[in-house]
Amino acid sequence: MKKVLIVLSTSGTSEEAIDYAVKRAKKDGAGLVALYLLEMGLASEIFDKFSDIGFIGDKPSTQLSESIMKEYRQRGYEELGKVQIRAMEEGVDFEPLMEQGDFMQRVLSLIKTMDVSTAVLVKRRKRSFVKYFSRSMADEVKEKALCEVVLFEEG
Amino acid sequence: MSVEIDTRPIWVILLLKASRPAFYLAVVLIFWGLIAMPTPEGLSIGGQRAIAIFAVCLILWVSNIVPLAITSLFAIVLVPVLGVLPKKETYALFGNEAVFFILGAFILAGAVMHSGISNRVALNIMKRFGGSPRTLVISIFLLSAFLSFFMSEHAVAAMLFPIVLEIAKGLGLKPGKSNYGKLLFFALAWGCVIGGVATFLGGARVPLAVGMLKETTGDSIGFLEYSVAVFPLVVILLAAGYLILTKFFPIDIEGVGSARAVLERRIKGLGKFSINEYATGTVLLFTIIGWIAFGEGLGLATVALSSVVVLFVFRLVKWKDIEEYVNWGIILMYGGAIVLGAALDKSGAASWLVKSSVGDWAGSPWMAFALFSFLSILLTAAMSNAAVIAVLLPVSLGLASKLSMDPVVLTYAIAVPAGLDFMFPMGTPAIAIAASSNYINVKESAKGGFIMFVTAWAVFNLVAAWWWPLLGMGYSR
C-alpha cells in the first residue's frame, strides 16, 4: 500500500498542508502517516542561556527545558488529533507518530523505512536574504529524498 | 548509496564552513596587532597590553562564541602572563567581597527554591489577587517583579514559567493568537526584568559593579542605599510597562475561572506548609534585615555567608541540592571581570581609553551620565548584563576622575540600565523563555520592548536628575 507522509513540527504547521496530505492520500488510495517532530533546538538553547548568561544551576534549567518539551508534546498531540479527524472524515487509513531528534535525519529515515511515496513538508517563512544563506531543512529533504516531496509554508 | 550534492554557490558554502575558524583567526590577529603596534603616547606598555586583553574579551563577550565564564578565565590567564598585574595580585582579586556575596546570595536563592516556599508564595498571591483577567495579569506582573527583588530574576522566570503556561492552557488561549496569552507572558518577562534592578539580588549584576567600584576607587554602595535610589524607577517602569502592554494587547477574555482551578490544584499538590519552608523563609528574612542593618559594617558577603552556614547547620538544605541550583561559573565570570577592571585601571589604560574615545563628547557630568547609561542599555540588548558592566565600568570610572564626577553615580549609570533589556531574547533569559512559549514572538517583543527601552532610559535619567539630589547624590563630588 502506498503511503503519504505529512511532517509537522514545533517550528511549523499548516492547515493547507494537512488538507493537501489527506486529499492526496485519498486520491492515491494511500495510507496517511503523520509525523510530529519535537525539535530540541529551542529548549536546549534556553538551557544554555540560563547556564551561560543567567548562571542558573542545572536543576532549574532542566526543569524549564522539560516544561517546554512537555508543552510541545501536548501541542503535538493536538496537531496529530486534527490530522486524525481530517483523515477519518475522508476515510483514509491513519498512523500517528511523535518523535524527537534531527529533522532531516528523522524524515529521510522514515521515508526510506516506510517506503513513502509522497512526503508533505511545512517550511518556515523566511526573508529572501536569509533564504540565500541558510536553506530550510524542508528544502534539503526535498533534494535528498527518494520520493516526491511537496512543500508548504507555515501558516 | 546516495550522493549528497549541495547546490548553493561555492563561495557561500566556503564562507559558512570557514566562518568559525576565521573568526578565531581574526581575534588572534586583532590581539597580536594591538600588542605589536607602537605604544601610543601617554599609554604605558602594561596599559597597551591591558587594552589588547580588553578588546579580545569584548569581542568574545559580544559574540558569545565561548561561554562568558571562559572569556573571563581568558582575562585571568593573560593579565599575569603579559605582566599587566603580578600573578599574586591577580588571583587575590578573586577574594573580592562581591564574588562571595553573589555566591552566598545564589546559595540562599537555591535553598529558597528547593524548599518550595517561593512557589507556594507565588501560587497563593496569584490565587488571592487574580480574580479577573485584569487582576490576574497585574498579579503575575507584580509578583514576578516582587520575587526578583529577593532572588535572581532568571530563577524567578524559570520558576513561574510552568505556572503561567498552565494558566494559559487552562484558559484555552491559542499560542501566537491570543492577546491575553501574550499579556501573561510579557507580564512574566517584563516583571522579572523590572524587579531585577530593584535590589542587589535581582540580576546579581549590581554586586559586580560595586565590587569593581570598590577595587578601583575604594568607594561602595550600601544594600538599602541602592534600593532607595532606584525605587522610583522601578515604580514608574512597572506602571509604564502595564500601560504599554495593555495598549498593545487589549484583554480579549471575559473570565479566569479555569485559571483559578489550575492554581487551586497546584496549591493542593504542595501539601501543608512545612517546617523547612518556614525556617528557610525566616533565614531569608533575617538575611535581608542583616544586609540592610549590618551590611556596611560587617560586609554584605559576611551576612550572606553567615546565613548559608545557618542553612547547613540546621540541615535545611544539603550540599547536593545546592549544587543543582548554583552555577559555579559565576565565580569565574565575576572574578575575571574584576581582574580585567583592575588591570585597566592600574595600568592607566582606562583613563587613556577615556581621553582617546568618549572624553571629547562627554564634556559635562550630565552628558557623561546620559551617554554611559545609553551605552549600557543599548549594549545589554545584545549581550549579557554582567558583560556590559565588565566592559563599560572600567572606562566610565576612568572618566569620573577626569570630570571630577562621583564614581558612585557613574556606577549606577552602568549597573542599572545594564539590567533593563526588554527587547531581545539574547540579552535576557526571561525574554527568551517567554518567547519559547510561542505565545509571543521576537518581533512583538522587539516592538513593545523598544518603547520600554526608550522609556526606561528617559525615566532613569530623570530619576537621577530629580530624585537623587534629594538623597544627597549628585553627578559631581
Q: Smallest CA–CA separation between B241 and chain A, in Å?
A: 23
How far does B37 lie from chain A, in Å, by closest CA? 34
Do A57 and B64 count as a contact with CB atoms less than 8 A apart? no
> Between B358 and B393, whose confidence is greater?
B393
Summarize chain B as % helix, strand, coil (round to 5): 75, 0, 25
Q: Is residue A50 part of a domain?
A: no
Which one of B68, B161, B324 has the shortest CB-CB distance to A57?
B324
Residue B404 has pLDDT above 70, yes or no: yes
Look over chain B and give the mean of its residue pLDDT values, rounded to a whole number. 89
Does position B423 have pLDDT exceeding 90, yes or no?
A: no
What CATH number is attached to the domain comprising A24? Answer: 3.40.50.620
**What's the pLDDT tens digit per position in B323-340?**
888 888 888 888 898 999
Asked if B165 lies within 8 A of A71 by C-beta distance, the reply is: yes
What is the rounded CA–CA span in Å between residue B71 and residue B83?
19
pLDDT of residue A134: 59
Distance CA B477, CA B475 (A): 7
What is residue B224's predicted lDDT score, i.e. its pLDDT?
94
pLDDT at A133: 56
- A117 is a domain residue: yes
In this predicted structure, the answer to whether residue B1 has a pLDDT above a threshold of 50 is no
**Nearest Cα to B72, choosing from B85, B89, B84, B90?**
B90
Q: Which residues pair with A148 in a beta bridge?
A: A118
Q: Which of B148, B159, B156 is nearest to B202 (CA)?
A: B148
Beta strands at A94-100 and A31-38: parallel, antiparallel or unpaired: parallel
CB B145 within 8 A of CB B189: no
Q: What is the pLDDT of residue A138?
A: 79
Overall number of domains in chain A: 1
Q: What is the pLDDT of residue B177?
A: 86
Classify burial at A122, counting beta carbons within 10 Å of its beta carbon; exposed 0-12, middle 13-18, buried 19 or more: buried
Whether residue A55 and residue B329 make contact (CB cut-off 8 A), yes or no, is yes
Instruction: Look at A95 and A54; give whichever has higher pLDDT.
Output: A95
A68 inside 8 A of chain B by CB = yes
Percent over 90 (pLDDT), chain A: 32
pLDDT of residue B83: 93
Please indicate, yes or no, if residue A65 is contained in any of the structural domains. Answer: no
Per-residue confidence (pLDDT) for residue B258, from 0 to 100:
87
Residue contact A57–B432, C-beta within 8 A: no
Chain A residue with Cα closest to B205: A54
**Rounded to 5, what percent of chain A is helix, strand, coil?**
55, 25, 25
| Closest residue in B to A10 (Cα–Cα) | B438
Is residue A115 one of the residues assigned to a domain? yes
pLDDT in tens, A103-118: 888 888 899 898 899 9
- What percent of chain A lies above the pLDDT cut of 70? 85
Chain A closest CA to B85's CA: distance in Å?
27
| pLDDT single digits (tens) B123-134 | 999 888 888 999
**Among A38, A36, A7, CA closest to A97:** A36
The pLDDT assigned to B334 comes to: 86
| Mean pLDDT of all residues in A44-67 | 76
Residues of A in contact with B155 (CB under 8 A): 54, 56, 60
DSSP 8-class letter at B94: G
* A74 part of contact set with chain B, CB < 8 Å: yes
Instruction: Look at residue A132 in the predicted model and tell me its pLDDT.
Output: 56
Sketch the domain layout of chain B as residue ranges: 10-471
Supply the pLDDT for residue B468. Answer: 95
**Is residue A62 one of the residues assigned to a domain?**
no
Look at residue A41 in the predicted model and tell me its pLDDT.
Answer: 67
pLDDT of B242:
96
Whether this prediction's pTM lies above 0.95 is answered by no
Domain that includes residue A146, residue range: 3-40+73-153
Residue B161: closest CA among chain A residues belongs to which residue?
A64
Task: Check A67 against B165: CB less than 8 A apart.
Answer: yes
* pLDDT for residue B2 is more than 60: no
Q: Is the pLDDT of residue A135 over 80?
A: no
Is A47 in CB contact (< 8 Å) with chain B?
A: no
Decide if A71 touches B, using CB distance below 8 A: yes
Mean pLDDT for B225-231 is: 96
Does this complex have an ipTM over 0.95? no
Chain B residues near residue A42 by CB distance under 8 angstroms = 436
pLDDT in tens, B167-222: 998 898 988 889 999 999 999 999 999 999 999 998 778 999 999 999 888 899 99
Q: Is the pLDDT of residue B387 over 80?
A: yes
Across the interface, whether the CB atoms of A60 and B325 are under 8 A apart is answered yes
HSE-CB for A136 with a 13 A CA cutoff:
19
Compute the average pLDDT of residues A64-79. 87
Query: What is the model's pLDDT at position B383?
Result: 78
